[in-house]
Chain A
Amino acid sequence: MNHLLIAPVVLPAVVAPLIAMVTRHHIDLTRIFSLAASVALVVITLVLGSQALDGSVQVYELGNWKAPFGIVLVLDRLSAMMCILTAILALVINLYAVGTGWDKRGSNFHSLFQFQLMGIQGAFLTGDAFNLFVFFEVLLIASYGLTIHAGGARRFQAGVQYVVYNLLGSSLFLFALGTIYAVTGTLNMADLAVKVAELSPDNTALLRVGAIMLLLVFCIKAALLPLHFWLPASYAEAPAPVAALFAIMTKVGAYAILRFFTLIFGPDVQATTGLAGDWLLPAALFTLAAGAVGVLGARDLGRVIAYGAITSMGTLLIAVSLFTPEAAAAALYYTVHSTFAAALLFLVTDMVVERRGAEVTPKAPMAQNGLIAALFFVGAIALAGMPPISGFIGKLLVMDAARGHEMVWTIWAVILIGSLVTILGLARAGTIIFWKSYDATTEVPEPATEAVDTQRAASLPFVATFGLVVGLVLLTIFAGPMSSFADATANQLFTPEIYIENVLGDTK
C-alpha cells in the first residue's frame, strides 16, 4: 500500500491545527508554515500524478479494511489531475493572500485555507460515497469561515445566504445517500457500480430517485441553472483570494457528476439510462446563456466575474452532459483552463477593487493601471474563449466533441453567442474601468499623483497573478500533450471495470 496516497489529505489536516493553535500570534511563522505546506502539497500531488500517469489505479485501504467494508481512497488519472490542479491553484492564491495582506485582515485565514484544501483533496481522492459527503462538509465548513473572512455587513449577509443554501444541499446529499443505501446496501463507489448494474430493471424507481437527488446536490455545487443563485453574491462578496480558490469548488461538483455518472450510473447501466444527460444538457445550455446575460448586466466588477465563472461552468457542463469519452476529455481540458482563468480574473478584480472600488463607473485613474489592465485583458479573453489563449482551444474541443450529437446546432449556437455576449460584457467593464477616467457629464477630476504613488503595492501579488497567466500560456503551448492526457483520462473513466477490479480486488 502506497502511503503517499493519503498525504494530500493528512498534510493539510496536520498543518491547519498546528497553525491555529501554535503559531496564531506570529503572522510570519503562520505564513511560513502555510506556504511550506502548499509547496509540499504541489510536490506530493505531482509525484502522485507521475504514478498515475501510466493508467494504473492505486487503492489505499484505511485501517487496512478491505473494500467494500472499509473506506478506500482511490488514485486514478482523474483524481491525480484534479489534485494537482488544486495544489497549484492553492499555492498561487496563498502567495497572493500573503502578498496583499488579506490573511492579516481577520483571524485564522491560513488554518481555514488548509482545512479547505484537505476537504477538496479528500473529495477528489475518496472512493466511498459517504466519505465524499464528509469531505464535502469539511471543505464547506472551511469555506463558510473563509467567505466571511475580514467581516463587513454585506459579506456577512452573503455568507448567510451561502451557508443556508449549502446546508440545504448537504441535507439533500444525505437523503440521496440514504435512498441509495436502502436500495443497494453499500456506499463504496466501486461496489455500488457492481450492485447497480446487477439490479433488475423493474425495481429501480427508488434508485432513480436517489440518483437524481445526487445529481441535484452536485449541480448545486457546480452552480448549474436553476441552482446557481448562491454563486454571484457569495463570490462577489467573498475576499478575493477566497473567491479565486472557490474557482476549484464548482469543479468539485463537476468532478462528482463525472465520477458518479460514468462509474456508477454510467451510460451503459440500464437502471438509470439517460437519467443525467437528458436533464443536464438543457440546464447547462441555460446556465451558459444566463451567465452571459449576467456578465453583460452586472454593475459591479466582482459580479461580472462571478457570472463569467457561471458561463464557464455552463460550457464545462455541456461537455460533461454529453457523456462520451471525447466530450469528457474536452471537459477535463476546459476544467484546467477555466479554473486558472476564473482565479486570474478574481485576483485582478481584487487589485482593481482595492484601488478604486468595485463599481463599473468612470473614476480617476488608479496606480499601475496599465499592468492591471493587461492582466484583465488576458483573463478576459481566456474566460470568453478568444484566441490565442487556452480558452479558445478548450471551447473548440467542446464544440468538436458535440459534433455527433443530435442537438449540435443548438449547442454550437449557445456556445458561440454566449462567448460573444461574454466578451462584450467583459469589454464593456474593462473599457469603463481602465480607459474612462471621468464621465463626459461631470468635471475632470484632479490627478491625485501622491495617492497614486502611495498605492503602489508589493510585487508578490503580481508574481502570483502572473503565475496564473503563465499557467494559461503553458496550457496553450502544451495543448497537445495535455489533451492526449485528457483523452487517456476520459478513456479510463469510460472503462470503469479497471477501477472496480482494483478497488474490490479478490473480495468480489
Chain B
Amino acid sequence: MELLVASAVGVLTAAGIYLILRRRTFPVILGLSLLSYAVNVFLFATGRLLVGAPPILNKYEEVAYTDPLPQALVLTAIVISFGMTAVVVMIALGAYLSSKTDDINMDDAAEAGEDA
C-alpha cells in the first residue's frame, strides 16, 4: 500500500509540475489542481498508513487508532486549495477576457492585447 500511495503522490506531482510549466492558463490551473491533490494525499499519509482504524482513542479497550491530526490538516488544506482554485479560475478568466489571450507570459502579446 505504501508503494501505491507513494507512487500516486509522485505521479500526481510530476504531472502537475509538467502542466504548470505550460504557457497557457488552462493547463497551468489543471496542474495546480493536480499538485494540490498530491499535497492532500501526501499530508494524509504523514500520519502513517493504517487500514480500518478509527482516528479516536478508546480508553476502555486497546485498539489500533490512526493519527487524527493529519486528517484535520488535510481538511483545512482541501478547503483552502478549493477556494484558491476558484480564485485563480476567476482571475485567469478576467485576464483572458480583458487581453484576449490566455498566454501566461507578459510580453509583446500582452501589449498588443491591451491595444485591442
Contacts and interface: CB of A to CB of B under 8 A. Distances in A.
B114 A153 contact: yes
Contact of A181 (B28, B69, B83, B92): B69
A400 interface: no
B98 A141 contact: no
A174 B77 contact: yes
B46 to A, nearest CB: 4
Contact of B98 (A156, A163, A175, A233): A156
Interface in B63-105: 69-70, 73, 76-77, 80-81, 83-84, 87-88, 91-92, 94-95, 98-99, 104
Interface residues of B, number: 37
Contacts of A154: 99, 106, 110-111, 114
Interface residues of A: mostly helix, strand, loop or mixed?
Answer: helix
Nearest to B28: A164
B99 A137 contact: no
A240 B105 CA distance: 22
Nearest to B43: A178
Given A154-B114, A156-B98, A182 B106 contact: no
B36 A171 contact: yes
A306 B113 CA distance: 24
Given A148-B94, A178-B46, A161 B106 contact: yes
A152 B106 CA distance: 13
A144 B73 CA distance: 23
Given A167-B32, A181-B69, A151 B46 contact: no
Interface string B16-46: 0000100001001000100110110011011
Nearest to A182: B46
Given A156-B94, A160-B92, A168 B20 contact: yes
Interface residues of B: mostly helix, strand, loop or mixed?
Answer: helix
Contact of A163 (B47, B76, B80, B87): B87
Interface residues of A, number: 32
A167 B88 contact: yes
A141 B87 contact: yes
Contacts, number: 101
Task: With a 10 A CB-CB cut-off, give which of A160, A175, A187, A233 has the most chain B CB atoms.
Answer: A160
A141 B88 CA distance: 10
A158 B103 CA distance: 11
A178 B25 contact: no
B32 A233 contact: no
Nearest to B98: A153
A134 interface: yes
Contact of B95 (A160, A167, A181): A160
A233 B104 CA distance: 12
B32 A164 contact: yes
Contact of A137 (B45, B80, B104): B80
A181 B80 contact: no
A431 B51 CA distance: 70
Contacts of A137: 80, 84
Given A156-B98, A181-B70, A141 B106 contact: no
A245 B36 CA distance: 28
A315 interface: no
B17 to A, nearest CB: 9
A167 B114 CA distance: 26
A170 interface: yes
B110 to A, nearest CB: 5
B84 A156 contact: no
A228 to B, nearest CB: 15
Contacts of A141: 83-84, 87
Given A168-B20, A178-B46, A159 B95 contact: yes
A346 to B, nearest CB: 19
B84 A167 contact: yes
A66 to B, nearest CB: 15
Contacts of A233: 106
A130 interface: yes
B68 to A, nearest CB: 11
B57 to A, nearest CB: 13
B87 A134 contact: no
Given A144-B87, A179-B46, A153 B110 contact: yes
Interface in A119-161: 130, 134, 137, 141, 144-145, 148, 151-154, 156-161
Contacts of B111: 154
A372 to B, nearest CB: 26
A175 B88 contact: no
B94 to A, nearest CB: 5
A156 B90 CA distance: 10
B95 A175 contact: no
Given A141-B87, A157-B95, A181-B70, A164 B20 contact: yes
The 4 closest A-B pairs by CB, nearest first: A156-B95, A153-B99, A182-B46, A153-B98
5 contacts: A154-B111, A159-B94, A170-B84, A178-B42, A178-B46
Interface of A: 130, 134, 137, 141, 144-145, 148, 151-154, 156-161, 163-164, 167-168, 170-171, 174-175, 177-179, 181-182, 187, 233
